[in-house]
Amino acid sequence: MTKRIALLGHPVAHSISPAFQQAALDACAIDARYEAWDTSPEDLRIAVERLRSGDLMGANVTVPHKVEAMRLVDRPDALAERVGALNTIVHRNGLLEATNTDVTGILRALESAEVEVRGAEVLLIGAGGAARAVVVAMRHAGAARVVIANRTPGRAAALASLGGEDLDLRYAPLDIADATFRGAANRARIIVQSTSLGMRHGPDERANPVPAELMHPGQVAFDLVYVPEETPFLRAAAEAGARPVGGLAMLVHQGAEAFRLWTGAPPPIDVMFEAAREALAARSAGAGSTGAVGGPEDG
């Protein structure tokens, strides 16, 4: 019997996860289909219950369902609980287990770019679901301090529970004229951009929250947006002499970890990267699409 894996989100037509996950399944000769299920918030409970069917191996979960789905699974693990959101569900013997592979994706993307996190001060732009995974990843990797910059202070303060004795968590307004923000940008060894700013077909695809004047050589600029490959934030980083790191590696590595959990097989990373790049190239060729693509929440 052909097995299935679902992607739950709304909308999901823009996602490239089906392209690289199906390529991985085919490369490993696993008889399974990866399907995108466009799932409205009202239909989420029904969709999650469908995952209990014997032919379903599990699912990826993307916006806007990562938090709400936590209440619908049987066993969210400690990592999902810590982040406060899931992105991967595994069906085992009728039970739905869940985790958050975004954390692994962030860590492996930085590791593959040879970025040393331990002891670093990090400036994090944004305070949404992706930002929560970044904070947990930075704590896990031994960062010394994370300064969260967000336009709405209350949303940044809501991440306070993710800190602890081993991570100094602070806040700054997302305002390039603010002295606290400017100081955090200057001190940071790593600047992580976790919002949809600069995303192709996003709400503000020309926006850059950290201008080149606030970055300098020796820094790493990590953008979770992966389309376009060179975002305004990454262009500014290169202009300042900082090292740009794009978001595609994070997307593929989080997907690879999910693949391992569903199948028990080592993920074919090279195959997944190749299929992801081909899917992005195809999307770029059909640039008339109006659907947002390439954001930090894409699963």
Looking at the annotation, which residues are catalytic? 66
- Residues 284, 242: Cα–Cα separation, whole Å: 27
Residue 97 dihedral angles phi and psi, to the nearest 5°: -100, 150
Give the H/E segment covering residue 118. Answer: none
- d(CA 251, CA 258) in angstroms, rounded, equals 11
What values do phi and psi take at 39, rounded to 5?
-125, 115
In degrees, rounded to 5, the angle at the alpha carbon of residue 242 between the alpha carbons of residues 178 and 279 is 105
Backbone φ/ψ region at 126: left (φ over 0), alpha (ψ -120 to 50), beta: left
**CA atoms of 73 and 65, how far apart (whole Å):** 12
DSSP 8-state code for residue 291: S
